[in-house]
A and B are shown apart, each in its own frame.
Chain A
Amino acid sequence: MQFWIIQGLNSLALGGLLFLLASGFSLIFGLMRIANLTHGAFFMLGAYLGANAIRSIDGVNLWAAAAGTGLVVAAAGGLLERLVLRQLSTNPLGQVLVTLGMSFIIADACLMIWGGDPIPVPTPADLRKPLLMFGFAFPTYRVVVVGCAIVAAIALYGLLERTRIGAMIRAGVDDMDMARAIGIPVSALFTAVFCLGAGIAGAGGVLGGPIMSAYPGLDADMLPLALIVVILGGVGSLLGAFVGSFIIGFIYTFGIALLPDLAYVILFLPMIVVIAFRPQGLFGRIGA
């Protein structure tokens, strides 16, 4: 029983982290039609920057590191969008290739700066004690990560559905030309959404640090999971990213625990089913 509960919680924690990665990817894809393959690298960059900040700067705790790193990665994302992707606005394939090139550059820069050994991120001291509930012990930090993901999901939902900016973003997703024609500053929105997506991914990397630590190849491990989440949930859909993240979190965690050799193949299965019967994804409105 303890096994199932602990693995269930691990699944939720991984799902939460995946949501932080996939929601930004999905939003960027939905609004800008850019498959941002740098997204995994943003996550990894966040993990490294956060680990570094916590270990080398006195008095910086995990939350401050996550916030600061989120801002730094958001700024990096904004620069990438403004300086490079903007040049290629009529060339979607070129944009994908550039984001792929950037992911190689960032990943190699991380390897160059921080070396090949994993850098663990310490769990905050007050969250190290297991949480006792219903006679079971839960690792507190994982519960907190799930909480963070839910808070982020609610905040993103509020932003998209309840604010003026959110209404503009939704208008841009549905019909960009019309949105432009009625005076919505789509160009500024693009940069804002790209920064937002990159920032969430960067902060997610820091929050994931105590669970998975920062290591070379983290980007290549996380990006395909995020892609599968988005293919599963539907591009541009926040709800799809949320549901997809937790589905993949469960399948991957239990796959690793029960059939470690074949965990990657099991990931396949929900993707095949969804693509076969609902190519636009569970909650997607636009085709990929």
Chain B
Amino acid sequence: MKQISGAIFLALLCVFPLFAGDFYINLASQILIAAIFAMSLNLLVGYGGLTSLGHASFLGFAAYASAWFTTQMGLGVGTAAVASIVATMVMAGLFGMIALRATGLGFLMITLALSQVLWGLAYRWVAVTNGDNGMSGLARPAPFGISLDSGANYYWFTLVVFVVAYWLMAIFVSSAFGSALRGTRDQARRMSALGHEVWMIRWITFIYAGFWGAVSGLLYVYYTKYIHPSSLSITASAEGLLSVIAGGSGTLGGPLVGSALLIILKNYASAYVERWNMLLGFVFLFIVLVLPEGIVPGLKRIFSRRQGGQS
């Protein structure tokens, strides 16, 4: 039943550009990119119990790295993509070594401080990042000679990456390593008594989350063909975290639902009100106070209650 509905949903996603307008195709691309970003954050928040408020570091760093490699170093888009992902993972390794000295609120504060350092760097180090003007004139890749310049082609490209990301992350969390990760979330001390290297498990997860964060950053910079320091801001990190929590942290589908909600809200609300940040703040309050478990677990609970009471 679950497989069938999943397959139908995927088929709908595949044929979606055939009957939707450009606006909706682009909206869907944005949602998929945001969903990969939120899913990677969810590995830390939902499965590792490590709430990061600096996940935009990975997205922004990879995007800046790709822009810098292609415009300043003259690399091809594909080579630059590999180099950016490797660079981001190295950075994630370093950040992880610092941030994972702490857990809980300390981890949150350190990740926030680290990402603000990158944000400040993007603003001030004008020689490399072009400061507040951002870097523009970036190109999309053309895998196997297929141009991705049309909205629909880019959507399909993003969809392929999204499906691979979803699939690999599902394998990751259901693997023995994923169980160990959940163990470190729930009972870190017992896991360490059982002989698991708690720190190492968290560090590897941090780097893996950094990898998918970098992938979403590349998709983002290809989509917008432009990168600005605001992609590294606390607002960007907070939007990702809100997507995870609104959709349901620790579920595979939650971040997709949360990202869809947030991107749609952002696009429609900004047509009527100028004040996106204020609205985002109120959404935060609403989710935390009214729907703390998130939409997907909430629906699951309602659904399973209808089917016969067991939860």
Contact = CB atoms under 8 A, between A and B. Distances in A.
Most A Cβ at <10 Å: residue of B53, B120, B127: B120
B125 A262 contact: yes
B102 interface: yes
A104 B281 contact: yes
A100 to B, nearest CB: 6
A224 B120 CA distance: 10
A165 interface: no
Interface stretch (B1-9, B104-112, B184-192, B250-258): B104-112
A86 to B, nearest CB: 11
B288 A101 contact: yes
B105 A101 contact: no
A261 B130 CA distance: 11
Contacts of A101: 280-285, 288
A87 B278 CA distance: 21
Given A84-B289, A220-B233, A231-B110, A108 B105 contact: no
Interface in B50-87: 51, 53
A108 B275 contact: yes
A18 to B, nearest CB: 14
A97 B109 contact: no
Interface in A175-229: 220, 223-224, 227-228
Interface stretch (A126-134, A238-246, A267-275): A267-275
B277 A107 contact: yes
Contacts of A88: 288-289
Interface in A62-109: 84, 87-88, 91-94, 96-98, 100-105, 107-109
A33 B105 contact: yes
Nearest to B120: A264
B234 interface: yes
B170 interface: no
Interface residues of A, number: 48
Interface in B105-148: 105-106, 108-110, 112-114, 116-117, 120-121, 124-127
B291 to A, nearest CB: 11
Contacts of A261: 124-127
Given A96-B108, A104-B238, A261-B125, A279 B284 contact: no
Contact of B112 (A109, A227, A267, A268): A227
Interface in B18-50: none
A29 B105 CA distance: 10
Given A220-B234, A275-B98, A104 B280 contact: yes
A22 to B, nearest CB: 12
A45 interface: no
Nearest to A264: B120
Interface residues on B, range: 35 or more
B209 interface: no
A129 B188 CA distance: 60
B113 A279 contact: no
A102 B117 contact: no
A227 B104 CA distance: 15
A288 B101 CA distance: 10
Interface string B267-311: 000000001011011111101110010000000000000000000
B288 to A, nearest CB: 5
Contacts of A223: 116
Contact of B113 (A91, A98, A105, A227): A227
A224 B112 contact: yes
Interface in A106-131: 107-109, 111-112
A147 interface: no
Nearest to A105: B281
Contacts of B112: 37, 224, 227
A224 B275 CA distance: 24
Given A92-B104, A104-B235, A224-B113, A98 B288 contact: yes
A267 B289 contact: no
B245 interface: yes
Given A88-B288, A102-B285, A264 B124 contact: yes
B117 A104 contact: no
A96 B233 CA distance: 17
A66 B117 CA distance: 30
A280 to B, nearest CB: 9
B262 interface: no
Contacts of A29: 105
A80 B101 CA distance: 31
A103 B281 contact: yes
B241 interface: yes
A99 B279 CA distance: 14
Contacts of B287: 97
A98 B284 contact: yes
A105 B102 CA distance: 29
Interface of B: 51, 53, 98, 101-102, 104-106, 108-110, 112-114, 116-117, 120-121, 124-127, 233-235, 238, 241-242, 245, 275, 277-278, 280-285, 287-289, 292
24 contacts: A29-B105, A35-B109, A84-B289, A88-B289, A91-B292, A94-B288, A96-B105, A98-B285, A101-B284, A102-B281, A104-B280, A105-B278, A220-B234, A231-B106, A260-B124, A261-B124, A268-B114, A268-B117, A271-B98, A271-B113, A275-B102, A275-B110, A279-B101, A288-B106
Given A87-B289, A267-B117, A268-B114, 9 more contacts: A84-B285, A97-B245, A104-B281, A108-B275, A109-B278, A261-B126, A287-B102, A287-B106, A288-B106
